[in-house]
Structure 1
Amino acid sequence: MPSDTPQDPAGPPGHGPGRPATTAAAPASPGFLADLRDALSLRALLLVVGVLVLQLGFILSYIGAFHAPKPHRIPAAVVAPARVTRQLTAQLNALPGTPFRARSVATEQQARSLILNRDVDAAIVVDPRGTDDRLLVASAGGPSVSTVTTQIAQRIEVGKRRRVTVVDLRPPNPQDGRGLSSFYLVVGWMVGGYLAAAILGTAGGARPANLHRTFIRLGALVPYAIVSGLGGALIAGTVLGALPGHFAALWGIGTLLVFAVAATTVALQVLLGMAGIGVAILVFVVLGNPSAGGAYPTTLLPPFWRAIGPWLPPGAGTTTVRNTVYFTAHHTTGPLWVLGVYAAAGILVSVAASAFHLHRVRLKRGRDGTRPATG
Structure 2
Amino acid sequence: MSTHGPATERPAATSTRHTVRHVVVLLITPLLMCLGMGMAYLGAFHAPHAHGLKVAVVGTSPRQQVLAQTIKDKAGDALDVTTVPDRAAARHQIMDRDLVGAYVPSATHPELLVAKAGSDTSATAAQAVFTTVADQQGVPLHVTDLSRLSSGDPTGQGLFFLLVALSIGSYASVAAISAGGATLRIGIRAAIGLATALAVSVIGTVLAGPVFHVADHHLAGLWGMALLYSAGILTIGVALHTFLGRWTTLGMMVLFVMLNFTSSGGIFQPALQNGFFGALHAFWNGAGFIEGVRGLLYFGSRDMGGHVLTLALWLVAGVVLLAAAALTERRTAAAPAGSPGPTPDRSEDEEQDSAEVLAEEEMGEAVAA
Asked if TM exceeds 0.5, the reply is yes
1:71 aligns with 2:50: yes
Q: 2:102 maps to which residue?
A: 123
Equivalent in the alignment of 1:39 = 19
Question: Which sections of structure 1, spanning at least 5 residues, go unmatched?
Answer: 1-26, 370-375
CA change 1:97–1:266 in 2 (3 A) is farther
User: Is 2:88 the counterpart of 1:109?
Assistant: yes
Counterpart of 1:302 (choices 274, 278, 281) is 274
Q: Return the alpha-carbon distance in structure 1 between the equivalents of residues 90 and 259 of structure 2.
A: 34
1:191 lines up with 2:168 in the alignment: yes
Native 8 Å contact 1:292 1:310 kept in 2 = no
How far off is 1:81 after superposition?
3.5
Helix, strand or coil: the match of 2:261? coil
TM-score, normalised on structure 1? 0.81
- Provide the secondary structure at the position in 1 that maps to 2:196: helix
Structure 2 portions without partners, runs of 5+: 1-6, 342-369
What is the CA deviation profile of residues 288-338 of structure 1, one whole-angstrom value per residue up to 9, with x for unaligned ones?
112222222232122222222343222221112222111122222222222
SS state at 2:51 partner? coil
Larger-gyration structure (1/2): 1
2:331 is equivalent to residue 359 of structure 1: yes
CA distance 1:90–1:366, shift in 2 (3 Å): farther
C-alpha deviation, 1:258, in angstroms: 0.8
Question: Residues 146 and 256 of structure 1: is their aligned pair in 2 closer, same or farther, counting only changes over 3 Å?
Answer: same
CA distance in 2 between counterparts of 1:152 and 1:227 reads 45
CA offset at residue 161 of structure 1?
4.9
**Does the alignment pair 1:346 with 2:325?**
no
Q: Deviations over 1:125-182 (max 9, x none)?
A: 224xx44321100112211111111111122379855653211111522321311111
- Sequence identity (%): 26
- SS at structure 1 position matched to 2:102: strand
Look up the equivalent residue of 2:17 and give its one-letter code: R
Map Cα deviations across residues 237-268 of structure 1 (whole Å, 9 max, x no partner).
Answer: 11222210111111111111111111111222
Letter matched to residue 343 of structure 1: L
Q: Give the total of aligned pairs.
A: 335
Q: Could you give the per-residue CA deviations for residues 27-71 of structure 1, whole angstroms, max 9, x where no partner exists?
A: 9465343113321446x5444223201112212222222222111
Q: CA RMSD in A?
A: 2.5
| Per-residue deviation, 1:364 | 5.2
Per-residue deviation at 1:272?
1.3
* CA shift in 2, pair 1:157/1:245, >3 Å: closer
Q: Considering fraction of residues, name the structure with more helix.
A: 2
Distance 1:249 1:122 in 2: 28
Alignment of 1:212-251 (within 5 A): 213-251=185-223
Runs of 4 or more, structure 1, over 6 Å off, are none
Residues 95-153 of structure 1 show CA distances to partners (whole Å, capped at 9, x for unaligned) of: 345222222222211110111121211111224xx443211001122111111111111
- Give me the whole-angstrom Cα distance separating, in 1, the residues matched to 2:137 and 2:8: 92
Taking the aligned partners of 1:159 and 1:34, their CA distance within structure 2 comes to: 76
Aligned match of 2:41 in 32, 51, 62?
62
Per the alignment, residue 357 of structure 2 pairs with none
Specify the alignment match of 1:373 in structure 2.
Answer: none
Pair 1:165-2:142 in alignment: yes
Separation (CA, whole Å) in 1 of partners of 2:16 and 2:314: 42
Between stretches 345-354 and 187-196, larger displacement belongs to 345-354
Letter of the 1:345 counterpart: A
Shift of 1:200: 0.5
Q: Structure 1, residues 184-239: CA drift from partner, whole Å, max 9, x if none? A: 1111111111111221112223xx66xxx211111122222222222221221112
1:204 aligns with 2:176: no
TM-score, with normalisation over the residues of structure 2?
A: 0.83
In structure 2, what is the Cα distance between the partners aligned to 1:273 and 1:166? 53
Q: Give the conservation status (yes or no) of the 8 Å contact 1:124–1:134.
A: yes
Tell me how far apart the structure 2 counterparts of residues 278 and 135 of structure 1 sit (CA, whole Å). 45
